[in-house]
Chain A
């Protein structure tokens, strides 16, 4: 993607800035939001709006710093000592690990805010080439011979784990669907995958710039972004009959906010995401708002689709991680002949 270098540069500079934070004594308070890749533009907008709101409310000039990268990489940075006040990541599992490995936040963090601590949601859709020449309509089309599917490696990309689970869930919800049929479906699907990029943006790049593949499995917001940036005349979005409710959660990093004395502002920062103003910004960046009123306003943008959730179908992230993505899990079994 053409922005890759800028993204890399930004990420690096934010990291450097983040490291410098303790040394730059500033007048107002400062927040560091450690997030994942596709939320960059969303939080740029949100931060501007929130600092204005906070200045009015408390008279405190707030500076908000952002850091973006792969969700797992970001979580590891926080575990290894990056002082994030809040984390806004792609999947709950990464935040669970911040608890497990570094005990920076409580185990029940996800219950602290409404809707599983996810102020906005998304889902997995198909991005196909204009006119949909291979007539890809639903998940079952993906396993047909001659279709090339682009999706990143779910072991290295948090976003791709949602893709994987959406596909698995779709097979499970078929008539007579079971773990065996789902695994069979996934094996056929991954036979059609010619490249496994390590991250979601890399996969988008492969599909869009290199012209590889007939269909890209992508987050809805990423698919919109690709279309807006690269032209409506080249790609279109296909919404499958069933998909997964992708919940990118947000939370406080308790140990850090208590140390820095930023708990109050950090709490407000996350709560404000749930207000109509915050919801509106999320919707503008193609994340599905959870606020009914705002959702109604954007109903035309987000088509209705039947959504399964990770809790009901997979028993939560920890269970899904162990069963599918850990070493020897279902994904490894697809690629490793007999054990």
Chain B
């Protein structure tokens, strides 16, 4: 068992982010209005030092087995920190415009980031529950940050109520599993379930646990909150929550299923496979009918959850690595697509109609080119990262050998074709349409930086994918090791 000092060293990245969040919260009280840029700088410095800590801190188990730092922790935390940094970068321009500039915003973003980081590191179901709540509660508040807007209030309330239900499901699942196995430590549960035949209690426990996580990740049929919440939440919040919640949820799904319960893969792969199939089909079909950019991205994010879920359901080492690569590219292309939307404004409102993007290529050629790259990547076409990670997922699914993998891959490519139709509408309008006078462009250096980073990740992964696959490999090697 590790000493308390060693435990504290292991959680150094989380401590750094928490400290940054507190500094940001306190500093905001003393800062003169208009000096809030300092907060952004502080948040970024904190996130960077936490990133360095993730790279440096050696692996290990801490807090009597509640916490583990391994390849999954490292990869998911690195990604969560990058997502949080981008979430900070895209916000200030919008908050200034909407008169929502407050230090709390950044504090909440940082706290949600810590929640996602802890979800990746949880080795115990109760710890996982606490991490899940640390992620969720700031997101409920963030969704409702648009205080003047009824839609934002509705979004926050809806997200909170349904999220609370999902948490209850999760907790009930934990209770049932505890009843069946006498422990909440994941490795012990894994061992106990191999030794005893699967009972109704354990099956129900795993099922309820899955529902809780599926809600966070917005898997069909637990997705209905997502479009409404995205629609009502302020644009930068929608961007952040659509990515960070999935990073956390998928880290947990990987931890629970392929990493802990790999011996029982036969029992859960069909259940997760059906969820993946439904999510791919419904997410893509529903996206076809959208005329709002935010709702389009909402259904798109649901659909992409389905593709990533194919990898979880497959559960082989290469599939697990593929899920990690998928999350990296998903984060870049989704945040990038939202960041472009943050830069636009229609008569004082968010530019959330797809027509608002018409003629962007004339007014901002580079922004339009980046946006086209995000859309092509979301549609899974070469030469972008979106293609490479889908290829990795489908290859892993087919290589797993069963009819389930093949079926999921075929559903995956078929729904990708459907998705081309709605994604490419956006670049088509940007290049073919006439710009509307009501739509104004607000590009700030920070926002441009965020778009640039996202575009570089998307194109780099598409053209030279080796770096991202190497990054993701550290997760796959954990499969089958208790």
Do A and B make up one complex? no
- Chain B interface (Cβ within 8 Å of chain A)? none
Binding site for B on A (CB under 8 A): none
